[in-house]
Structure 1
């Protein structure tokens, strides 16, 4: 039996621009994301990261947005989803306890100059996604069910409690 993965509490943001596009970051996975296609290692994820000692999820979300996309004092909105369990696409696999908050920015201007230095996996880029692109994409976007949550948020249907999402390879 393998050793248990380290537990990591994480805050992430569903970052929307004024055109209701969602910001995602592309990473290179440490292993193929599909064993049938060993050359494919790209996956897309929301900005965010681990909580520091004594930090709330909201404070961690703000700090991570400053570090990763150069947005200071982001207005962190409601908690809309969670995803818990083993995640093994990063260099440091973890038993993740992720919380996802809505963040609306006044423009689509971001600064990712510091993004690569904050991550343990290679960063391949960032992209603003429309809902239609998100729903139609064959790209690996984590976690499963993210597009449905985005659809609800954009329709103004904020869930009364967080929606539970899951990792695609769990």
Structure 2
């Protein structure tokens, strides 16, 4: 399998909100340049979550990943609000990612990321609770495209009734 036709991976992630309506994101270091015009720019922000284990549903995987990555167990998952399917090349192991995104509202902003780096392919730079206005205005690389707008929509109470389709920035169609 080549970088142009990477293996498929089913993934569950969460838009994790605190009571102030901030969104939790994890910053990773890309293994290859993100932007050819900025070869030193290697950081990108992503939601907590990860790949499904054999026999797991997306919901089960999301709960397990949140416990592993941010130390929050037994979360109540809200609805699946988005999907993002396509080739993703910023992680050490490129993949054709089939991602499903769920809403999680925490009772406070207390998280424990002490185990986060143990399970990740790429170096973890840190985590941050993002104010949604700052996230929308940021020039930082946030994946997938459209995440900030979706988060703002959800925080205002307009939760999509059917999952919206998001896309990876600069994604190439499969097989090209």
TM-score, scaled to structure 1: 0.98
Partners of 2:101 and 2:110 in 1: CA distance:
21
User: What RMSD, in angstroms, separates the aligned Cα atoms of the two structures?
Assistant: 1.1
Please show how residues 34-49 of structure 1 align to structure 2 within 5 Å: 34-49=35-50
Deviations 1:125-170 (A, max 9, x none): 0000011011100000000000111111011111111010000021
Please show how residues 108-123 of structure 1 align to structure 2 within 5 Å: 108-123=109-124
Partner of 1:24: 25
TM-score, scaled to structure 2: 0.94
Partner of 2:149: 148
The structural deviation recorded for 1:4 is 2.3
Please show how residues 1-170 of structure 1 align to structure 2 within 5 Å: 2=2, 4-170=5-171
Partners of 2:153 and 2:161 in 1: CA distance:
12
Q: How many residues align?
A: 170
Moved over 4 A (4+): none
Partners of 1:134 and 1:78 in 2: CA distance:
22
Partners of 2:33 and 2:45 in 1: CA distance:
14
In structure 1, the gaps of 5 or more residues are: none
Indicate the SS of the match to 1:160: coil
